[in-house]
Amino acid sequence: MLPGSIQISGETLSGAEIRDICESLRENSVRLLSLRGCQLSERDFGHVCRGVAESRSLAQLNLNLGIVSNINRVKQLAEALKTNRSVQSLFLHGSPLTDAGLALLNPALSIHPSLVALDLGDCMLGDEGINLICGLLPPDGAKSGLKELTLSANPGITSKGWGRLAIAVAHSSQLRPWFAPPTGDQVAGMLAVAVASSRTLEVLDLEGTGLTNQSAQTLLDMVENYPTALRTLILAENNISPELQQQISDLLSEGEEEEETEAHEVTAREKNPWICQNNSSSQMVLMTSGLGDSLLAETEM
């Protein structure tokens, strides 16, 4: 039987329900486990963690909205992830981790062989947490690391922290979507450098992050004048004029259309090697979109 999913939201879970969940985990019949916003005892949380440790089928684990509510639970989750080898996506959005909790969790995250998507949005993180996260974004040629990262709603991160993360993103050979809102215009330039330098970053979500036309103009200049793998830039709920947002969107769309045209031309030449190019000096850069083969989709936060 193919592994299925268990998705429960906002419920108070009984001991019997927890036993059923743990049995399914041990039988490797669960690929997606979502307990978003659920209430469960300390003992039952420990049982779930032991089930996660034993599972060889679990690929996506959603513990959003306060499930990991204290340091003891962080420790139990860390122990589970040290043993588990299958989890690819871990969602902890809305957990009061703080930098201290992330420090406890980080060793397990850094050695996990399969983890490529991590949501740490609204986890009360600061600059010390950012330093740990940068270690999960290895530079080109290094070990594999995160491909999808969410860090929204962490107001404790300063401009210095966002700047360090921008440098790590610029040198990361893996990261695709990046949801990491900065704190206003002061880091827009650093973000532009990171996006322009990254060959893999395709989605940047900056919704409601206090940006103005000044930031938008910097981002527009980057999109207009420098090659980038970026395909989607979300700027809603900022003090940015609709005209500037539309200009940026149009330029990103043009880049995607040009890429598709070039891809078709490459395919045609492969099918017919006798086709000649009129412009022998033209250069072609192909950048593949990771969105088509993205990780397991998270349907609700």
Is 1-124's fold the same as 157-257's?
yes
**Predicted TM-score (pTM) of this structure:** 0.76
Structure confidence at residue 128 (pLDDT):
97
Which two structure tokens, joined as six digits, stand for 68? 């990991």
Task: State the fold for domain 1-124.
Answer: 3.80.10
End-to-end CA distance of the chain: 28
Whether 276 shows a pLDDT value over 80: the answer reads no
Nearest C-alpha neighbor of 168 from the set 184, 146, 152 = 146
Task: Give the span between the Cα atoms of 288 and 301, in whole angstroms.
Answer: 27
Which two structure tokens, joined as six digits, stand for 246? 């539309």
Structure confidence at residue 45 (pLDDT):
98
Q: Let me know: does 262 contact 286? Beta carbons within 8 Å.
A: yes
Task: Give the span between the Cα atoms of 41 and 215, in whole angstroms.
Answer: 46
Give the mean model confidence (pLDDT) for residues 22-34.
97
250-256 long-range contacts (CB < 8 A, ≥24 apart) are 251/220, 251/223, 251/224, 252/223, 255/223, 255/228, 255/231, 256/231, 256/289
Give the mean model confidence (pLDDT) for residues 67-84.
98
Task: Give the span between the Cα atoms of 172 and 104, in whole angstroms.
Answer: 24
Q: Which residue has the tokens 């080898």?
A: 85
**pLDDT-derived band at 73, boundaries 50, 70, 90:** very high
Q: Which residue has the tokens 């990103």?
A: 252
Whether 112 shows a pLDDT value over 50: the answer reads yes
Q: Return mean pLDDT, the chain.
A: 82
Ranking 93-97, 161-165, 170-174 by mean pLDDT, the lowest is 170-174
Please report, rounded to a whole number, the percentage of residues in the chain having pLDDT higher than 90: 49
Segment of 56-70, 132-146, 191-205 carrying the highest mean pLDDT = 56-70
Which two structure tokens, joined as six digits, stand for 54? 């034993």
Q: Order of strands across the sheet with 148-150?
A: 4-7, 30-34, 60-62, 89-91, 117-119, 148-150, 177-179, 203-205, 232-234
Give the mean model confidence (pLDDT) for residues 205-231.
86
The partner residues of 205 in beta bridges, in order of sequence, read: 234
In this structure, what DSSP letter does residue 274 have? T
The partner residues of 178 in beta bridges, in order of sequence, read: 149, 204
Give the mean model confidence (pLDDT) for residues 137-152.
75
Task: Give the span between the Cα atoms of 74 and 106, in whole angstroms.
Answer: 10
Whether 215 shows a pLDDT value over 70: the answer reads yes
Could you tell me which CATH number the domain at 157-257 has? 3.80.10.10
- For the chain, which residues make up each domain, given as ranges? 1-124, 157-257
Q: Let me know: does 75 contact 103? Beta carbons within 8 Å.
A: no
Task: Give the span between the Cα atoms of 133 and 130, in whole angstroms.
Answer: 5
The partner residues of 139 in beta bridges, in order of sequence, read: 172
